[in-house]
């Protein structure tokens, strides 16, 4: 990737950058002076805590590659909180802001290091489910070849970023990878459902029996004991119950055990979703860029308090 690089900064200097941090949010599609309604509460909370806030039109970026950015007299570090962007969109956003002395907390390479599964999997193999992926949309023969790696085990279908888990039996869950026709149908349903939202290629992951806490009332998707951790500069700043959004003051010892592995993921701000298996062990389910990861109904005030306490 080609992008404008900010000079290298040490961890200590990053931690002392509090006064130079601002937050970036998507504007309302119908009023560019107001934040998108889904991020309005975060926008107001960031302002209330003394941070500068910037709005940009997500629609103008996606459709025209256009971003209006105010010039900053000094270098500022920007934390984006908004909708997911594909790598080219994020790179465009990063470069437009860099031209005006604003630098997103993760450069384009750091963004995909946590956002795209194949980028982080190699660093966490062994503490996350077995995974195979394609570099683009696979044909039937390529799909069958990928399925062979799983024998008769159940498999989950997704792309480099997202699944269609709320279409659990139609587009996500394969009960037996050896049942080729059924498996190919589920994968094709996923591809058709994603359309232009499909990220890069297809990912197949071994289904792991997790500690169950129930089933989704509509899709009947199994709901498990899962946590989302927001990690800034390789330190956990908050721990969130994935399905209920409740904050936890502690996280499993498993996290401490894998923190060294997580340091191999070159990203300044990212999330880690972990889950408890039926046998009591914990595993890593997903990583994501911290700027586009949801708070899962976590209290917005507490999230910004957590972040400020860290900074």
Residue located via tokens 């070849």:
145
Residue 9 is predicted with a pLDDT of: 42
| Angle of CA points 230, 234, 235, to nearest 5° | 65
Residue 48 is predicted with a pLDDT of: 96
Quote the pTM value: 0.92
Structure confidence by residue, pLDDT tens digits, 7-45: 334 444 444 455 689 999 999 999 999 999 999 999 999
- Asked if residues 77 and 56 have their Cβ atoms less than 8 Å apart, the reply is no
Q: 103: which residues sit within 8 A by CB, 6+ positions away? A: 6, 75, 76, 77, 78, 94, 97
What mean pLDDT comes out for the span 230-242?
A: 95
Residue 11 is predicted with a pLDDT of: 42
Q: 59: which residues sit within 8 A by CB, 6+ positions away? A: 29
Structure confidence by residue, pLDDT tens digits, 152-170: 999 999 999 999 999 999 9
pLDDT score of 218 more than 90: no
Structure confidence by residue, pLDDT tens digits, 285-294: 999 999 999 9
- Asked if residues 156 and 222 have their Cβ atoms less than 8 Å apart, the reply is no
CA distance 288 to 270: 6
- Asked if residues 234 and 263 have their Cβ atoms less than 8 Å apart, the reply is yes
């Amino acid at each position: 990737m080609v992008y404008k690089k900010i000079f290298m900064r040490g961890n200590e200097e990053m931690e002392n950058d509090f006064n130079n941090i601002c937050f970036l949010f998507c504007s309302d599609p119908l009023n560019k002076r107001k934040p998108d309604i889904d991020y309005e509460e975060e926008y107001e909370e960031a302002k209330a805590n003394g941070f500068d806030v910037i709005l940009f039109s997500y629609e103008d970026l996606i459709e025209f590659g256009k971003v209006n950015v105010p010039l900053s007299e000094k270098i500022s570090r920007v934390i984006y909180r908004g909708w997911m962007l594909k790598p080219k969109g994020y790179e465009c956003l990063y470069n437009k802001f860099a031209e005006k002395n604003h630098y997103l907390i993760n450069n384009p390479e750091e963004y995909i290091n946590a956002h795209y599964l194949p980028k982080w999997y190699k660093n966490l193999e062994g503490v996350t489910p077995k995974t195979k992926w394609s570099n683009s949309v696979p044909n039937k023969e390529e799909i069958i070849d990928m399925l062979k790696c799983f024998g008769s085990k159940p498999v989950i279908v997704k792309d480099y970023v997202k699944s269609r888990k709320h279409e659990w039996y139609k587009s996500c869950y394969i009960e037996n990878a050896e049942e080729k026709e059924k498996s190919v149908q589920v994968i094709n349903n996923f591809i058709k459902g994603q359309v232009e939202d499909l990220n890069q290629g297809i990912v197949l992951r071994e289904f792991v029996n997790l500690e169950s806490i129930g089933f989704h009332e509509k899709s009947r998707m199994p709901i498990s004991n899962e946590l989302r951790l927001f990690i800034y500069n390789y330190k956990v700043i908050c721990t969130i119950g994935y399905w209920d959004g409740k904050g936890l003051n502690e996280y499993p010892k498993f996290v401490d055990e894998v923190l060294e592995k997580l340091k191999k993921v070159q990203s300044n701000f990212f999330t880690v979703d972990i889950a408890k298996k039926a046998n009591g062990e914990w595993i890593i389910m997903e990583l994501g860029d911290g700027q586009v990861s949801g708070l899962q109904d976590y209290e917005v005030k507490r999230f910004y308090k957590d972040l400020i306490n860290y900074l």
